[in-house]
């Protein structure tokens, strides 16, 4: 069997199963973050996906798991965590600057405001955000960047393809969301290459999502 084909087509098939439904219907249809049912169903779908992907890799070659960054948190991770958050803040400022300039030329499509979320929902927002961080970093960074590398394809092309797939998974957010996701995808690829830690990527990604959810669901509109 051609290993080169496996390295290109298997990830695309997993993407189609895990992410294509969300592109066309949103994350969970008409449910919103203010509903307990949303968080329950999200966890019910996300946890099996994470376990399935880990199992697929384990069957392929269990030695890949530590290479994918599924390892223990260490002191180096703790020392560099603050610096990585500062880099993320700089990336967010860059993204907002690009989007502001883009809106001078292209009108932003109207996005319906999310209903306000009670404070009692904050723990569920945090859990959902962290699950999202684990799910997306496991696939888009740990898995893809481990498979899409030389001699199959160049490291730069692997990063580009990973970030494009990550952005396409957010098409339901409109073009601003795609631009935002693509640049964030590049940042998380850089972070993963620097740390080789799924957990650091997942933590920073999850806390970023959590902060966004707090802003868009708790601040009255």
Residue 182's pLDDT is 97
When pLDDT is averaged across residues 175-199 and rounded to a whole number, the result is 95
Contact yes or no for 214/121 (Cβ under 8 A): no
When pLDDT is averaged across residues 29-48 and rounded to a whole number, the result is 85
Quick one: how many helices (H) and strands (E) in the chain?
A: 10, 0
The count of other CB atoms within 10 Å of the CB of residue 75 is 7
* Predicted confidence band of residue 28 (pLDDT cuts 50, 70, 90): low
Q: Is 57 helix (H, G, I), strand (E, B) or coil?
A: helix
The count of other CB atoms within 10 Å of the CB of residue 87 is 16
Residue 174's pLDDT is 86
Predicted confidence (pLDDT) per residue in 96-144, tens digit: 999 999 888 887 776 666 667 788 889 999 999 999 999 999 999 999 9
Burial 128-146 (b: 16+ CB within 10 A, else e): bbbbbbbbbbbbbbbbbbb
Predicted confidence (pLDDT) per residue in 56-77, tens digit: 999 989 999 999 999 999 999 9
Residue 4's pLDDT is 47
The residue among 150 and 133 whose pLDDT is bigger is 133
Write down the pTM of the prediction. 0.90
* Predicted confidence band of residue 25 (pLDDT cuts 50, 70, 90): low
Q: What mean pLDDT, rounded, does the chain reach?
A: 88
Contact yes or no for 180/186 (Cβ under 8 A): no
């Amino acid at each position: 069997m051609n290993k080169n084909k496996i390295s290109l087509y298997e990830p695309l098939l997993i993407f189609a199963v895990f992410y294509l439904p969300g592109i066309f219907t949103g994350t969970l249809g008409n449910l919103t973050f203010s509903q307990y049912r949303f968080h329950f169903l999200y966890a019910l779908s996300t946890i099996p996906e994470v376990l399935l992907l880990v199992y697929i890799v384990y069957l392929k070659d269990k030695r890949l798991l530590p290479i994918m960054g599924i390892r223990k948190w260490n002191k180096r991770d703790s020392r560099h965590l603050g610096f990585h958050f500062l880099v993320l803040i700089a990336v967010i400022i860059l993204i907002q600057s690009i989007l502001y300039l883009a809106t001078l030329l292209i009108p932003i499509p109207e996005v319906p405001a999310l209903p306000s979320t009670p404070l009692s929902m904050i723990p569920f927002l945090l859990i959902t955000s962290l699950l999202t961080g684990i799910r997306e970093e496991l696939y888009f960074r740990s898995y893809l960047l481990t498979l899409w590398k030389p001699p199959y394809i160049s490291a730069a092309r692997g990063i580009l393809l990973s970030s494009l797939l990550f952005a396409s998974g957010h098409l339901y957010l409109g073009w601003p969301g795609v631009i935002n996701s693509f640049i964030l995808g590049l940042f998380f690829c850089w972070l993963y290459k620097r740390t080789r830690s799924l957990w650091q990527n997942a933590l920073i990604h999850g806390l970023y999502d959590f902060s966004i959810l707090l802003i868009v669901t708790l601040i009255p509109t």
